[in-house]
Amino acid sequence: MVRFGKRFSKPGTAPGTLRAPEVRRVEETSIGIMEYGPERLDEWRVGSVEEALARRSGLAVTWIDVVGLHDVEVLQQLGETFGLHQLALEDVLNTGQRPKVEAYEDHLFIVMRLLHPNDDGLESEQISIFLGKGFVLTFQEIPEDVFESVRERIRHGRGRIRRMGSDYLAYALIDSLVDHFFPVLEDLGARLEELEEEVIEDPDRKTVGKIHTARKDLLVLRRAAWPEREVVSALERQDTPLIGKETRVFLRDAYDHSVQILDMVETYRDLATSLLDLYLSTVSNRMNEVMKVLTVLASIFIPLTFLAGIYGMNFDREASPWNMPELGWYWGYPLFWAACLVLAGALLLLFKRKDWL
């Protein structure tokens, strides 16, 4: 398997042999094909490569979208039909790739990451894109399709996408992947705002766990967004006839979006760190308030304990000349309590005037 740019092979597997990913996101492979030109659009969804290729009508741009990576034969057949490099096909199945762009003789291989929110945080999906002359191939792991907005533009002929070539289609797909980060960031921003209110008003032990979860999600976002910025930048500078001059202008706009996403991620990371510091400060202040109350109570009872210790000693009035006269006085016990209450009240008044309470 491939993890972050390193290639590993299982024992007994021949080099260059395609293997399905160990974690299968869908049970069946679904193949969607769109062929279009300025005046015509053909669209199908089929279950096999043979059917998809048989229905091709030879229009200007062919887009084949494969959802599900467990069927290796599908990938192998598409690779043979469109002349895809074997190493790129292996990277499609090894879904731990870092976002990157690789140039081959007659096609480009692009890896992007797509993030899906779930109950455990953010789930990362690898999106693989092949760009060649007149064709674009995309491979997705799970059926949550982020490309539907691009399909709608093609179906209704909105914008210039039907008049442009396969390079503009690849740009539109990449741009939709980049823009998908914005709703994820908006959700994280709302979570951080709620956490800020919680930290200020009523923090508890669960609050620090929520902060760490938000920081972990931001780290996942940063690991995906940072290399994707480099991918878009590399495509803009790529010296290849597969990307036209007009499309490079739009790639520059996608690059600006990726830079904006990184700025937002860094801002939210700073906010999450400051929330953790604010939580620790709030908990420390609350502990200081508790310690202050306990200290005031202890300060009140220290002199009372002193008096009780003195009058709690045992004296023998007849055997000792140092007996205190209050011990034999009828009003001695009420006087002792009166002195204690007056002393405690005086201390409370003193602490109140000094704003210690």
Task: Clarify whether residues 148 and 270 are in a common domain.
Answer: yes
My answer on whether 265 and 333 are in the same domain is no
Residue 53 placed within a domain: yes
Distance between CA atoms of residues 56 and 60, nearest Å: 11
Phi and psi dihedrals of 135, rounded to 5? -145, 155
Q: What's phi and psi for 251, nearest 5 deg?
A: -65, -35
Interatomic CA distance for residues 112 and 91, integer angstroms:
12
CA distance 181 to 127: 14
**In this structure, is residue 287 part of a structural domain?**
no
Q: What is the DSSP letter of 52?
A: H
Indicate if 203 and 317 belong to the same structural domain: no
Helix, strand, coil shares of the chain, percent, nearest 5, are 55, 15, 30
Q: Is residue 297 part of a domain?
A: no
- Is 88 in the same domain as 217? yes
**β-strand pairing of 6-7 with 107-118:** unpaired
**169 shares its domain with 238:** yes
Q: What is the DSSP letter of 119?
A: T
Q: What is the pLDDT along the chain (357 residues), one digit of tens a residue?
A: 333 333 334 334 444 556 555 544 555 788 889 999 888 898 888 878 888 788 777 788 999 999 888 778 888 899 999 999 999 999 998 888 899 999 998 999 999 999 888 777 788 889 999 999 999 999 998 877 789 999 999 998 888 899 899 999 999 999 999 999 999 999 999 989 998 888 888 888 888 888 888 889 999 899 889 999 999 999 988 888 899 999 999 999 999 999 999 999 999 999 988 888 888 888 887 788 778 778 888 888 888 888 777 777 666 556 556 666 666 667 777 887 888 888 888 888 887 777 776
Provide the residue range defining the domain that includes 349.
313-353
Give the CATH number of the domain where residue 254 resides.
3.30.460.20
- What's the structural domain count of the chain? 2
With respect to residue 7, please indicate whether it lies within any of the assigned structural domains: yes
Q: Is residue 30 part of a domain?
A: yes
pTM above 0.85, yes or no: no
